[in-house]
Amino acid sequence: MSTDSIEGQADRLLLPSYARDDSSHPALDTPEYRSTSLRHPSEPLQRLPQNLTEVTGPVLGHERVSETDHDLTIQHEGEPLGERIVVSGRVLDSDGKPVPDTLVEAWQANAAGRYRHAGDRHPAPLDPNFSGVGRCMTDEHGRYRFVTIKPGAYPWRNHDNAWRPAHIHFSLFGRAFTQRLITQMYFPGDPLFHQDPIFNSVRDPKARERMICEFDLDSTIPEWALSYHFDIVLRGSRATPFENEEDDDDD
């Protein structure tokens, strides 16, 4: 393709625009979580326009996902120890539209609160039948589903007698670089919430609730597994050909 024809199209480029959602997210500088102190940028972030690189993103397909990847209880000879659970929900955007065919990655501690990672020094047993890694693709309605065991809480060294509430880590791509999200899913009513600086780094209590799954009796599998529902919402795109950016508050 010649440069001319690209140039000819350039002034007609119509790109989606992803809504800002800064108020959902924690501040990078959150002193209660000590590891942020030397790792948060001290200069203000610069505004990046949402051009072609930002409104596109990796189309990571089914070749990254195998048959058993969504079921963390069948990846070994035997079954892992712990409370078997189903975690399912939808990946949506903030326009309420499902995000189909997108890769969802998950990782977690075992039932005793131990990760299969060389750096995890928690003196709790490893489970030879549990790796703690899952991945799946959302279907055409944005739905995903994992079968796993409920992760245990674990101690860490952030402050005196610090414990992480039970959680499952999630990684999402959506369809654009702009939508990339890493989060953690928590369980309802965890008594450790009040002392966890990572959970509480999200200052808005309503926003914190959006990281807590719902117990879902209807989708339990009788005599086999309890079930939790967790919808994940990424930034939405409004195609706005005729209006300029509404929010001018760059700082």
Partner 1 sequence: MTTEHGGPATTPSQTVGPFFALPGGLPWPDGPEVVGPDTEDAFLLRGRLLDGAGEPVPDGLVEMWQADEHGRFAHPDDPRGSSTSARGFGRCATGSDGEFWFRTVRPGALPTPEGEWEAPHIDVTVLARGLLDRVVTRIYFPDEEEANAADPVLSTVDQQRRGTLIAGVEDGAFRFDIRLQGTGETVFFAV
Output 22 or 223, the one with its CB closest to partner 1.
22
> In the complex, what is the shortest distance from the CB of residue 199 to partner 1, in angstroms, rounded to a whole number?
8
From the CB of 161, what's the least distance to partner 1, in Å? 19
Q: Has 117 been annotated as catalytic?
A: no
Q: What is the number of alpha carbons within 13 Å of residue 231 lying toward its C-beta?
A: 14
Least Cβ distance, residue 228 to partner 1 (angstroms): 15
In angstroms, what is the minimal distance from the CB of 83 to partner 1?
21
Say whether 167 is catalytic: yes
Cα–Cα distance measured from residue 175 to residue 222, given in angstroms and rounded to the nearest whole number? 36
Q: For residue 242, how many other CB atoms are within 10 A of its CB?
A: 5
The DSSP secondary structure of 86-108, one letter per residue, reads EEEEEEEETTS-B--S-EEEEEE
144 is annotated as an active-site residue: no
18 catalytic residue (yes or no):
no
Establish whether 164 is a catalytic residue.
Answer: yes
> Among residues 84, 90, 167, 235, which one is catalytic?
167
DSSP state of 71: B
Residue 228's SS3 state is strand
Determine the residue type at 51.
N
Is the CB of 184 or the CB of 220 nearer to partner 1? 184
Q: How far is the CB of 143 from partner 1 (least distance, A)?
A: 15
C-alpha–C-alpha distance, residues 239 and 234, integer Å: 16
Distances (CA, A) of 55 to 15, 139, 180, 194, 201: 7, 21, 11, 37, 28
Q: Which is nearer to partner 1, 169 or 229 (CB)?
A: 169
Nearer to partner 1, 13 or 223 (CB): 13
- Selected catalytic residue, list 169, 180, 208, 229: 169
| Closer by beta carbon to partner 1, 133 or else 220 | 133
- DSSP string for residues in 149-188: EPPPPEEESSSTTEEEPSEEEEEE-TTSGGG-EEEEEE-T
Which of 18, 144, 154, 186 is flagged as catalytic? 154
Cα radius of gyration rounded to whole Å, the chain = 21
Coil, helix or strand at residue 76: coil
Catalytic residues: 115, 154, 164, 167, 169
